[in-house]
Structure 1
Amino acid sequence: MERVADYPRPPRLEPCALPVRVEALGRVLAEGDRSLRVLETFHPPTLYLPPEAMHLAMLQPAPGHSFCEWKGVARYFDVVLPEGEPSPLNPRLRRLVRAVWQYPEPAPAFAALAGWYAVYPALMDGCWLDGERVIPQPGGFYGGWITSWVQGPFKGDPGHPQLV
């Protein structure tokens, strides 16, 4: 069991060899057994996946950037289906806006993240870590992956307003 209250600040980056699967728009967006976990106080882990794990044809650069005091400037991607191809889960849905991000040139302490991708689990059809379907971190801004071995309270949890 991991307690997010025990995670460090500034965050720690660690490799993870557990199998990961991400589905979006009725398709597999990412799959592999290599990721990087960012562990930050009161946040469930955020997983970053290498480019070879991603179905890159489903990503389109999206406008805008954000800044993390630890990692630097992030850029975003929409998840899209090819023109004319409907989602099998919802035929009207063909784009998830700003659902994926990466740090192309992260701060030195997070250099290993360069070019790797993270997803917002709440926007995906589902995310799995080691075969377990994850619960998205509460709040629209966060990309944490909650599993049975990660214990809160979590930042963004409406039950813990002091952490919002």
Structure 2
Amino acid sequence: MKRPIPDRVKPGQESVWDYPRPPRLERQRARITITFGGVEILDTDDVLRVLETSHPPVYYLPEDAFETGCLVPASGSSMCEWKGAAHYFDVVAPAAGSSATQSGVAPRAAWGYARPMPGFELLRRRVAVYPQYMDRCTVDGETAVPQPGEFYGGWITSGIVGPFKGIPGSHSW
């Protein structure tokens, strides 16, 4: 299929059509927060992002930055030709004010790479989260919009322009 026409880039924005394939891993100076079940389960400025042609950034965050007990290993795995074998986590939110009672579970809503492939070693002990299953995910205070499509885990902010993989008709991009 022919490459789509990229959206116009304004000052301060990035086009996903300028991202590389194979993808690039880079540090980002940003504060990321994630809220689930009405509870903030992550607040960190230790941020890595993966940039891949046609996809908004996927943020990889330290496992130990999540609230204790929020990441529960889940069954199944998948394979990325560049990053390696992914394993999944259920995201579990403690009830406000009580770590003993659970107020929500998002099955397989996060993933990581125990043994990333060469070039992606920094992803070890880091986790990415599907924003569509969380209450709110922010990048420097801005609420991120989930990348279209069930399979994708990119976060769209005002600084990122598409069109994005996952919209109807984008399967062969």
| TM-score normalised according to structure 2 size | 0.85
1:69 to 49, 74, 81: 81
2:170 to 141, 161, 164: 161
User: CA contact under 8 A between 2:36 and 2:93: conserved in structure 1?
Assistant: no
User: CA contact under 8 A between 1:20 and 1:33: conserved in structure 2?
Assistant: yes
Q: How many residues were matched structurally?
A: 157
Q: Secondary structure at the match of 1:31?
A: strand
Structure 2 partner of 1:91: none
CA distance in 1, matches of 2:93, 2:14: 36
CA distance in 2, matches of 1:113, 1:55: 19
Q: Secondary structure at the match of 2:119?
A: helix
Structure 2 partner of 1:41: 53
User: CA contact under 8 A between 2:24 and 2:50: conserved in structure 1?
Assistant: yes
Identity of paired residues, percent? 51
Structure 1 partner of 2:157: 147
User: CA contact under 8 A between 1:49 and 1:118: conserved in structure 2?
Assistant: yes
Counterpart residue identity of residue 135, structure 2: D
Gaps of 5+ in 1: 88-93
Counterpart residue identity of residue 38, structure 1: V
Indicate the structure with greater strand content. 2
CA distance in 2, matches of 1:81, 1:150: 29
1:136 to 132, 146, 149: 146
User: CA contact under 8 A between 1:120 and 1:143: conserved in structure 2?
Assistant: yes
Give the 5 Å matches for 1:9-88.
Answer: 9-81=21-93, 85-87=101-103
Name the Cα RMSD after superposition.
1.6
Gaps of 5+ in 2: 1-12
Deviation at 1:52, TM superposition (A): 3.1
Indicate the structure with greater helix content. 1
Post-superposition Cα deviations, 1:57-76, rounded to whole Å, max 9, x if no partner, equal 11111000000001000000
Structure 1 partner of 2:15: 3
